[in-house]
């Protein structure tokens, strides 16, 4: 057997939540039980909220007439400025491919634990099967199993972590990732237009963009009121594309005006969110928004998430055209590799990771 990589980080025993679920016990282990202030509320007001995230019809941007194009760019501006989250419809990705990635992801999570553990996520790393962002024995755990892989550039890949079962897993991930990459490039082009910038500004800046996929499986939980599926966080990426499993319960929630708003799945739509990198590049005009996942008492949930970001070598900072006397420079310049390292070596904690880049208000920033 190949030697197991070792880690100095002591995380204690992490229960596999699918195995807990299989045991049918109504007991939730202490490490998953959140402090009262962090627990989700399930009152009707939240569930029936009419305040839902915007929808962008990408066909209007791909092939609409001039009026349709400009109107949808305006929708995009408002979505990015006021929500940081939107769903895209008519995105051009074959529905069969969306179904296939969901199928192979589910087949993977349904395999016996011993099979999945052949691809372990070593504490302190972010690829493979397990729980990421756990750094100590007393840290609360998320009610979630993750499987994550680096995709691009190729040197981020660890071939030992690519599952051999199901047999079409790798091929499907490759095909899906190619399509999602094209979508990200197009979205960044339209986001640049919405900011009155050259449409290729992000593409030129990003180099061979970083891309990673994370599959999140949230089994039903006997006490959804006590646990979180995924801790509140913003994404470190430039853009994130999230596919919610077909027919799944609502689980994703975003923080808006101090309330958690559920994201109602739209069949075959994809959820897009602005990550920390776009917040920095736009000098805060478009903000990354804190979000989390909650669980359901009877239903399991799956999400397939792609992170798209500049390559590690890129130095980033607010784009000069977006800094002026009314919007002073809020973030320092830094290297994206450093930010990635900072992001993946800290626990998920709201928007705290972005403190890394913030210029403190009284430090005499200039524009
Ligand atoms: C569990 O993983 C993550 O949540 C995650 C990690 C992404 C990555 C890989 C799985 C391998 C290649 C590197 C990379 C760090 C992109 C989140 O990704 C966010 C965090 C940053 C930073 C980012 O760019 O996307
Ligand atoms: O599963 C979800 O809906 C949220 C996933 C998420 O935010 C993430 O993986 O970063
Ligand atoms: Fe996220």
What is the pLDDT at residue 1? Answer: 44
The angle, 0 to 180 degrees and rounded to 10, between the axes of the packed helices 66-78 and 169-194 is 100
292 lines ligand 2 (CB under 6 A): no
Residue 177 domain-assigned? yes
214 lines ligand 1 (CB under 6 A): yes
What is the pLDDT at residue 6? Answer: 58
127 lines ligand 1 (CB under 6 A): yes
- The protein residue with its alpha carbon nearest to ligand 1, atom 9, reads 150
| Residue 183's CATH number | 2.60.120.330
Residue 22 domain-assigned? yes
**C-alpha 271 – ligand 3 centre gap (Å):** 11
Domain count, the chain: 1
| Phi, psi (rounded to 5 degrees) for 100 | -65, -40
Residue 4 domain-assigned? no
Q: What is the pTM of this model?
A: 0.95
What is the pLDDT at residue 364? Answer: 55
Residue 3 domain-assigned? no
DSSP string, 218-230: E---S-TTT--SE
Nearest in space to 109 (alpha carbons), one of 348, 300, 306, 305: 300
- Chain segment 30-66, per-residue pLDDT in tens: 999 999 999 999 875 455 456 789 999 999 999 999 9
Positions of the chain with pLDDT under 70:
1-7, 44-50, 362-367
What is the pLDDT at residue 49? Answer: 53
- The protein residue with its alpha carbon nearest to ligand 1, atom 6, reads 126
33 lines ligand 1 (CB under 6 A): no
What's the CA gap between 109 and 312, in Å, rounded? 30
Residue 44 domain-assigned? yes
156 lines ligand 1 (CB under 6 A): yes
Nearest bound ligand to the CA of residue 312: 1
Nearest in space to 38 (alpha carbons), one of 347, 323, 364: 347
Residue 7 domain-assigned? no
**C-alpha 29 – ligand 3 centre gap (Å):** 24
List b or e across 316-343, with b for residues whose CB sees 16 or more CB atoms inside 10 angstroms. bebbeebbeeeeebbbbebebeebbebb
Residue 364 domain-assigned? no
- Chain segment 330-359, per-residue pLDDT in tens: 999 999 999 999 999 999 999 999 999 999
What is the pLDDT at residue 51? Answer: 72
147 lines ligand 1 (CB under 6 A): no
305 lines ligand 2 (CB under 6 A): yes
Q: Find the domain containing 22 and state its range.
A: 12-357
Nearest in space to 7 (alpha carbons), one of 172, 115, 132: 132
Q: What is the CA radius of gyration of the chain?
A: 20
Q: Which residues surround ligand 3, an ion (CB under 5 A)?
A: 235
What is the pLDDT at residue 9? Answer: 83
Q: Please give the number of the atom of ligand 2 that sits closest to the Cα of 244.
A: 3
**C-alpha 305 – ligand 2 centre gap (Å):** 7
**C-alpha 149 – ligand 3 centre gap (Å):** 15
**C-alpha 17 – ligand 1 centre gap (Å):** 22
**C-alpha 16 – ligand 3 centre gap (Å):** 21
């Amino acid at each position: 057997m190949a030697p197991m990589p070792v880690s100095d980080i002591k995380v204690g025993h992490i229960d596999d939540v699918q195995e807990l679920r299989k045991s049918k016990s109504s007991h939730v282990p202490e490490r998953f039980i959140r402090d009262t202030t962090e627990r989700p509320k399930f009152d009707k007001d939240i569930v029936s909220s009419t305040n839902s995230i915007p929808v962008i019809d990408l066909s209007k941007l791909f092939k609409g007439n001039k009026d349709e194009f400009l109107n949808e760019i305006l929708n995009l501006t408002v979505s990015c400025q006021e929500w940081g989250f939107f769903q895209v419809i008519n995105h051009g990705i074959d529905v069969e491919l969306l179904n296939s990635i969901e199928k192979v992801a589910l087949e993977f999570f349904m395999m016996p634990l011993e099979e999945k553990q052949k691809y372990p996520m070593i504490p302190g790393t972010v690829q493979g099967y397990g729980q990421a962002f756990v750094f100590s024995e007393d840290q609360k755990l998320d009610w979630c199993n993750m499987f994550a892989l680096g995709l691009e550039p190729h040197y981020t890949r660890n071939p030992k972590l690519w599952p051999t079962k199901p047999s079409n897993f790798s091929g499907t991930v490759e095909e899906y990732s190619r399509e999602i990459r094209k979508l990200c490039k197009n979205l960044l082009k339209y986001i640049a237009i919405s900011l009155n910038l050259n449409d290729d500004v992000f593409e030129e800046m990003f180099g061979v963009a970083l891309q990673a996929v994370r599959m999140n499986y949230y089994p039903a939980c006997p006490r959804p009121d006590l646990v979180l599926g995924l801790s509140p966080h913003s994404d470190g990426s430039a853009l994130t594309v999230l596919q919610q499993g077909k027919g799944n319960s609502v689980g994703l929630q975003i923080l808006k005006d101090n309330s958690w708003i559920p994201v109602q799945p739209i069949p075959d739509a994809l959820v897009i969110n602005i990550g920390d990198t776009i917040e920095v590049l736009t000098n805060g005009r478009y903000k990354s928004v804190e979000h989390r996942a909650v669980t359901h008492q009877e239903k399991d949930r799956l999400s397939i998430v792609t992170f798209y970001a500049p390559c590690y070598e890129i130095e980033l900072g607010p784009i000069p055209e977006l800094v002026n006397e009314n919007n002073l420079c809020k973030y320092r310049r830094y290297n994206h590799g450093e930010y990635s390292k900072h992001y993946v070596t800290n626990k998920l904690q709201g928007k705290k990771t972005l403190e890394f880049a913030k210029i403190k208000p009284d430090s005499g920033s200039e524009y």
